């Protein structure tokens, strides 16, 4: 009996004390020790509950780390950009996704939530600072974007374009809208173009990105005075997407749906579920608002965000190529809307 | 005496079984109206809007499923339909409501604390399973009472031991 | 009425040996203690996502289903034999886990107030938990705190009072287990009560070298209901006359022991039936606003919810029932006082059936969480048994409604035939008694149909 009692006491204590110590110890001491490189746990909460914890991770270039993302409350998703091509997909609450990666160049990277998880979803970001081992104290600077610099040199304020006019501090000017009554469609573009005289300059992608479809329409109209305006507009739609014929790439559509659709709407009508919650009504990608819009301005808005509008900046997430692909998709949405 | 009572109860149980079988196998007219019904269904923590909707048996149902705060899911009992829905992206779910009854649809993607209880109801009318069940319950009770009535003579009740009123 | 009983120990001698072993209870408790401790640790430190947290899944799905669908209806209070909640307190009080410590128990030996020697505290405790169930059931950390509080309260009480005062008078779970244990076809009884009467030392109460006196403060000698015997099996060990045994008997036999009918137990029956109804509406219904009220998203709404719940459970249901019972009394022409309390016991089978139907409704659906959680109890990305990524798959939804209808019908028929018997008692004209029972039976039918409507309608 004495011995049994001793065993019983030992067993009970090993449950009451041993079980917590063993489980917590395994997770927080043994598992990290077993791993050959640094393991960083990042817990994802919805932004109003704290977002990513931690929000800043500092690494030295060449270091291999395992980043382990946990979702705590609702479904989140994780991708790391720009330009790394890391997309861990969605993480359901209570689940874990991890990636082991070697950051070999110094620079700034962003891990960001890719699944709409709250109205502040887009705030949900964290920074990975990869420093040069030779000078660990100097932080890498974000790179400058030539497109945005060029717009600035041209004197265009992307928040007010195309009015010009003062912005910051003042009320945000109304978004430009024209009522042309036109609903150009890209599918009719090719037929519309046959037989038209098209100025050479319109074939230049560079020119098209720095001008509006309306400007192109005027140029076309000058050359083809007797052509119907609706047909010319269709021709412009065709031209505007002539460098990416066919259906938009699945990756771009997914990226739009994950990052933009909650405000701008799945079809670009500006009617996503979060549309009512932003500081300013989200833009609709429809002819009336898009015909007087330039691609490079769209690019800059995506990269840099919209001042005071709740439009987040995606420059820390997307490469220029990814951003241009999104811009093209916005045009596609604009020019495929058949009322 | 005891054996006799057991036999009595067994007979009652037998009748109940017959009743259950009868109601289960009751032939029901087949429906095949073949309308196509479109429905917008929104998922939000922790409810569906509309929370309950009715269709007629045989209808083709097209649900445009949206989520308005976080990622949700849609799982329709018995129909084996499951879909994940992300805010901003509408999912189209299409099925033929060929079975009658009430079917719960549940959020199938963990969406917060009350997630396991995020439930909506699809009623495929006529809701025969419910009417059958209710009918069965009522008839079963009637059967029991009739059975008791038959076997309770007007004489002294044979089974009860004295029950005092409550103190 | 004497009912048929089958003495399980007559044949199965090994069972007697097992029950007399001092190892039985501690061994079972050790197993549940592992699960319980893990549930608390995972609740406190694991993922806040309930469906991926061992604590939530194992307590509110696995344990709950086991308790209400299997253990209580079939084995009565057997859970209380293995429950880990009172274990630490009891062991400290006895200064022993397995052995029989002959010394005095370490406790202040206060006297439990007479006015609390009933189920009212348990009724209040259960309602308290019920009001917060929207939070407790869904937030692992809250759940863990509640789970931790239980053994701590039990421990505190064991310092003040001897024996299982917590279990007998306080534990909110213990109350309804006791009520519904009356339905079980298993009972612990003496073989021959005259042996007890003639036995002078009453070892089962006083204790002896083989075991402790009944920790549940029950005198096995006149045990006639399962309600308050915690099946700790001490009396098996202490009884020198081999007079204790386990019987098989018809379901619900205890309910007819009318001399024990009491208002506190009757209210337990109302509370349980009412809560089953409300839970079915709140948790399994389609009404989002009810869920948000119940989960304490805003205090005023929750207060409304709490007031509504209490009003329905404590006033509306007992009130309506009282009305029906009064009608029945009128029809029967009883003069010996109202049978309201007695009739309330007919709600025991009905309530148990309702709880089983309700529990099946979410256990079938969410049972698959247990598989993933057992491999990854904390939601930390472990995969102990390779099942961590099992998807959520509802089990046989098409079977569910058949089971629910079957169970509810069974409960109703049992309740109705109890009513006929209660009404007929002391009456000469048995057919008139049946008529007299009809108002109460109508109440039972309406309740059953309400459940049916919630589940199928
Ligand atoms: S009464 Fe409560 S604490 Fe005591 S054994 Fe039963 S369930 Fe456990
Ligand atoms: S009657 Fe026997 S089994 Fe029941 S609680 Fe008392 S000692 Fe334990
Ligand atoms: Cu959800």
Query: In terms of pLDDT, which residue wins out, C336 or A141?
Result: A141
Atom index in ligand 1 nearest the CA of residue C86 equals 3
Among all ligands shown, which has an atom nearest to the Cα of B117? 3
- Which of A290-299, B55-64, B151-160 has the least mean pLDDT? B151-160
* DSSP code at position A229: H
Picking from C259, C278, C286, C368 by the largest number of B CB atoms within 10 A of its own CB, the best residue to mutate is C286
Q: Collect all residues of chain A within an 8 Å Cβ-Cβ radius of residue C49.
A: 71-73, 92-94
Taking the domains of chain B in order of start, what are their residue ranges? 2-28+129-155, 36-126
- Which of A313-322, B153-162, C312-321 has the least mean pLDDT? B153-162
Atom index in ligand 2 nearest the CA of residue C211 equals 7
Q: Give per-residue pLDDT as tens, B107-117.
A: 999 999 999 99
How far is residue C110's CA from residue C95's CA, in Å, rounded to a whole number? 18
- Ligand 2 atom 8: the closest Cα is on which residue? C232
Query: What pLDDT, on the 0 to 100 scale, is given for residue B3?
Result: 53
- For domain B36-126, which architecture applies? Sandwich (2.60)
- Dihedral angle at the C-alpha atoms of C6, C8, C9, C11, nearest 10 degrees? 90
| Nearest CB partner across the interface for B71, out of A75, A94, A261 | A75
Ligand 2 pocket check for C230: Cβ under 6 Å: yes
- Dihedral angle at the C-alpha atoms of B139, B141, B142, B143, nearest 10 degrees? 90
Tell me if chain C has a CB within 8 Å of the CB of A170: no
Q: Collect all residues of chain A within an 8 Å Cβ-Cβ radius of residue B66.
A: 273
Q: Which of A212, A338, A211 is nearest to A286 (CA)?
A: A338
Q: Collect all residues of chain C within an 8 Å Cβ-Cβ radius of residue B4.
A: none
CA of C117 from ligand 1 middle (Å) equals 16
A36-131 is classed CATH 3.90.1010.10: no
CA of C306 from ligand 3 middle (Å) equals 25
CA of B118 from ligand 3 middle (Å) equals 7
Contact: B87, A262; criterion CB under 8 Å:
yes
Atom index in ligand 1 nearest the CA of residue C81 equals 5
Tell me if chain B has a CB within 8 Å of the CB of A310: no
The boundaries of every CATH 2.60.40.420 domain in chain A are: 36-131
Q: How confident is the model at residue B155 (pLDDT cuts 50, 70, 90)?
A: very low
Taking the domains of chain C in order of start, what are their residue ranges? 6-254, 282-456
**Coil/strand/helix, residue A57:** strand
Tell me if chain C has a CB within 8 Å of the CB of A16: yes
Mean pLDDT along residues C322-335: 87
- Dihedral angle at the C-alpha atoms of C321, C324, C325, C326, nearest 10 degrees? 120
Ligand 1 pocket check for C67: Cβ under 6 Å: no
Query: What pLDDT, on the 0 to 100 scale, is given for residue A35?
Result: 85
pLDDT of B4 strictly over 50:
yes
Mean pLDDT along residues B138-150: 92
Query: What pLDDT, on the 0 to 100 scale, is given for residue C321?
Result: 96
Mean pLDDT along residues C54-83: 96
Ligand 1 pocket check for C71: Cβ under 6 Å: no
Ligand 1 pocket check for C174: Cβ under 6 Å: yes
Query: What pLDDT, on the 0 to 100 scale, is given for residue B31?
Result: 63
Query: What pLDDT, on the 0 to 100 scale, is given for residue A160?
Result: 57
Contact: A19, C38; criterion CB under 8 Å:
yes
Query: What pLDDT, on the 0 to 100 scale, is given for residue C2?
Result: 66
Q: Which residues of chain A have pLDDT under 50?
A: 161-174
Beta strand A86-91 pairing with A76-81: antiparallel
Ligand 1 pocket check for C173: Cβ under 6 Å: yes
Q: How confident is the model at residue B164 (pLDDT cuts 50, 70, 90)?
A: very low
| Nearest CB partner across the interface for B71, out of A115, A261, A265 | A115
Mean pLDDT along residues C67-95: 96
> What global pTM score does this model have?
0.90
Tell me if chain C has a CB within 8 Å of the CB of A95: yes
Query: What pLDDT, on the 0 to 100 scale, is given for residue C413?
Result: 96
SS (H, E, C) chain C: CCCCCEEHHHHCHHHHHHHHCCCHHHHHHHHHHHHHHHHHHHHHHCCCCHHHCHHHHHHHHHHHHHHHHHHHHHHCCHHHHHCCCCHHHHHHHHCCCCCCCCCCCCCCCCCCCHHHCCCHHHHHHHHHHHHCHHHHCCCHHHHHHHHHHHHHHHHHHHHHCCCCHHHHHHCHHHHHHHHHHCCCCEEEEECCHHHHHHCCCCHHHHCECCECCCCCCCCHHHCCCCCCCCCCCHHHHHCCCCCEEEEECCCCHHHHCHHHCCHHHHHHHHHHHHHHHHHHHHHHCCCHHHHHHHCCCCHHHHHHHHHHHHHHHHHHHHHHHHHHHHHHHHHHCCCCCCCHHHHHCCHHHHHHHHHHHHHHHHHHHHCCHHHHHHHCCCCCCCCCCCCCCCCCCCCCHHHHHHHHHHHHHHHHHHHHHHHHHHHHCCCCCHHHHHHHHHHHHHHHHHHHHHHHHHHHC
Give chain C's mean pLDDT.
Answer: 93
Touching chains, C (3+ CB pairs < 8 A) = A, B
CA of C119 from ligand 2 middle (Å) equals 18
Contact: C41, A20; criterion CB under 8 Å:
yes
Ligand 2 pocket check for C233: Cβ under 6 Å: yes
CB count in 10 Å sphere of residue C65: 20
Query: What pLDDT, on the 0 to 100 scale, is given for residue A167?
Result: 40
Query: What pLDDT, on the 0 to 100 scale, is given for residue C260?
Result: 84
Q: Give per-residue pLDDT as tens, B65-116.
A: 999 899 999 999 999 899 999 988 899 999 999 889 999 999 999 999 999 9
CA of C160 from ligand 1 middle (Å) equals 18
Q: How confident is the model at residue B153 (pLDDT cuts 50, 70, 90)?
A: low
pLDDT of B1 strictly over 60:
no
Query: In terms of pLDDT, which residue wins out, C297 or C280?
Result: C280
């Amino acid at each position: 009996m004495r011995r049994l009692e001793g065993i019983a006491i030992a067993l009970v204590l090993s449950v009451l004390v041993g079980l917590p110590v063993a489980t917590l110890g395994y997770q927080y001491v043994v598992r990290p020790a077993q791993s050959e490189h640094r393991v960083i746990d990042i817990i994802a909460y919805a932004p109003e509950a704290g977002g990513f914890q931690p929000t800043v991770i500092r690494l030295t270039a060449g270091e291999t780390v395992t980043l382990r993302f946990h979702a705590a409350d609702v479904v989140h998703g994780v991708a790391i950009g720009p330009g790394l091509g890391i997309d861990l997909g969605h993480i359901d609450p209570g689940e874990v996704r991890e990636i082991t990666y070697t950051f070999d160049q110094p620079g700034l990277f962003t891990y960001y939530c890719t699944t709409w998880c709250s109205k502040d979803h887009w705030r949900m970001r964290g920074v990975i600072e990869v420093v040069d081992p030779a000078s660990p104290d100097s932080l890498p600077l974000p790179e400058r974007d030539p497109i945005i610099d060029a717009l600035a040199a041209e004197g265009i304020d992307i928040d007010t374009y195309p009015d010009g006019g003062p912005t910051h501090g003042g009320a945000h000017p109304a978004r430009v809208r024209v009522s042309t009554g036109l609903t150009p469609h890209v599918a009719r573009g090719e037929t519309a173009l046959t037989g038209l005289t098209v100025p050479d300059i319109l074939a230049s992608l560079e020119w098209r990105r720095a001008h509006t479809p309306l400007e192109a329409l005027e140029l076309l109209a000058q050359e083809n005075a007797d052509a119907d305006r609706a047909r010319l507009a269709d021709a412009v739609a065709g031209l505007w997407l002539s460098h990416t014929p066919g259906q938009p790439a699945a990756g771009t559509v997914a990226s739009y749906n994950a990052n933009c659709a909650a405000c701008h709407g799945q079809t670009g009508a500006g009617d996503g579920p979060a549309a009512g919650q932003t500081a300013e009504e989200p833009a609709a990608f429809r002819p009336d608002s898009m015909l007087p819009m330039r691609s490079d301005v769209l690019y800059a808005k995506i990269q840099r965000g919209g001042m005071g509008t709740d439009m987040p900046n995606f420059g820390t997430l997307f490469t220029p190529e990814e951003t241009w692909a999104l811009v093209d998709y916005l045009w596609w949405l604009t020019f495929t809307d058949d009322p | 005496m005891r054996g006799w009572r057991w036999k009595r109860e067994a007979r009652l149980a037998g009748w109940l079984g017959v009743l259950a079988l009868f109601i289960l196998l009751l032939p029901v007219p087949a429906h095949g109206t073949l309308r196509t019904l479109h429905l917008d269904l929104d998922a939000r923590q922790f409810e569906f809007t509309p929370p309950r909707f009715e269709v007629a048996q045989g209808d083709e149902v097209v649900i445009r499923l949206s989520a308005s705060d976080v990622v949700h899911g849609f799982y329709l009992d018995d129909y084996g339909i499951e879909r994940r829905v992300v805010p901003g992206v509408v999912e189209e779910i299409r099925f033929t409501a060929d079975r009658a009854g009430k079917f719960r649809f549940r959020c199938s993607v963990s969406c917060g604390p009350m997630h396991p209880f995020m439930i909506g109801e699809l009623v495929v009318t006529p809701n025969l399973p419910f009417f059958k069940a209710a009918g069965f319950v009522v008839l079963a009770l009637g059967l029991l009472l009739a059975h008791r009535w038959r076997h309770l003579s007007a004489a002294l009740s044979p089974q009860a031991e004295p029950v005092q009123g409550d103190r | 009425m004497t009912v048929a009983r089958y003495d399980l120990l007559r044949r199965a001698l090994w069972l007697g040996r097992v029950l007399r072993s001092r190892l039985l209870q501690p061994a079972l408790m050790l197993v549940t203690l592992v699960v319980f401790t893990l549930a608390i640790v995972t609740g406190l430190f694991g993922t806040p996502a309930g469906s991926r947290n061992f604590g939530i899944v194992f307590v509110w799905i696995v344990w709950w289903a086991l308790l209400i669908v299997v253990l209580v209806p079939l084995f009565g209070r057997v859970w209380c034999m293995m429950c880990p909640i009172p274990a630490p307190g009891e062991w400290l009080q006895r200064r022993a886990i397995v052995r029989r410590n002959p010394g005095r128990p370490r406790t202040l030996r206060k006297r439990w107030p007479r006015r609390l020697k009933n189920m009212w505290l348990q009724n209040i405790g259960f309602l308290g938990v019920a009001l917060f169930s929207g939070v407790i059931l869904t937030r692992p950390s809250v759940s863990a705190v509640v789970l931790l509080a239980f053994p701590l309260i039990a421990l505190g009480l064991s310092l003040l009072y001897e024996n299982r005062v917590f279990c007998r008078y306080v534990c909110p779970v213990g109350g309804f287990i006791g009520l519904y244990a009356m339905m079980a076809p298993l009972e612990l009884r003496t073989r021959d009560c005259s042996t007890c009467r003639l036995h002078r030392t009453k070892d089962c109460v006083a204790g002896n070298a083989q075991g402790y006196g009944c920790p549940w403060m029950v005198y096995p000698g006149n045990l006639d209901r399962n309600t308050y015997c915690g099946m700790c099996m001490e009396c098996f060990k202490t009884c020198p006359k081999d007079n204790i045994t386990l019987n098989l008997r018809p379901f619900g036999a205890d309910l007819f022991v009318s001399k024990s009918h009491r208002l506190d137990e009757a209210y337990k029956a109302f509370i349980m039936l009412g809560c089953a109804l409300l839970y079915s509406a709140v948790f399994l219904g389609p009404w989002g606003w009810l869920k948000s009220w119940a989960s304490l998203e805003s205090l005023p709404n929750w207060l409304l919810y709490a007031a509504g719940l209490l009003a329905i459970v404590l006033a509306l249901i007992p009130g309506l029932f009282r009305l029906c019972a009064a009608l029945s009394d009128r029809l029967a022409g009883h003069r010996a006082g109202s049978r309201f309390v007695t009739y309330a016991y007919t709600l025991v089978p009905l309530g148990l059936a309702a709880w089983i139907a309700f529990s099946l409704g979410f256990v079938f659906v969410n049972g698959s969480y247990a598989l993933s959680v057992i491999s990854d109890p904390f939601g930390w990305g472990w995969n102990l048994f390779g099942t961590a990524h099992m998807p959520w798959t509802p089990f046989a939804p098409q079977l569910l409604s058949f089971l629910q209808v079957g169970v509810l019908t069974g409960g109703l028929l049992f309740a109705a035939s109890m009513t006929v018997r209660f009404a007929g008692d002391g009456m000469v004209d048995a057919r008139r008694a049946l008529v007299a029972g009809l108002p109460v039976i109508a109440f039972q039918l309406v309740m059953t149909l309400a459940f049916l409507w919630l589940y199928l309608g």
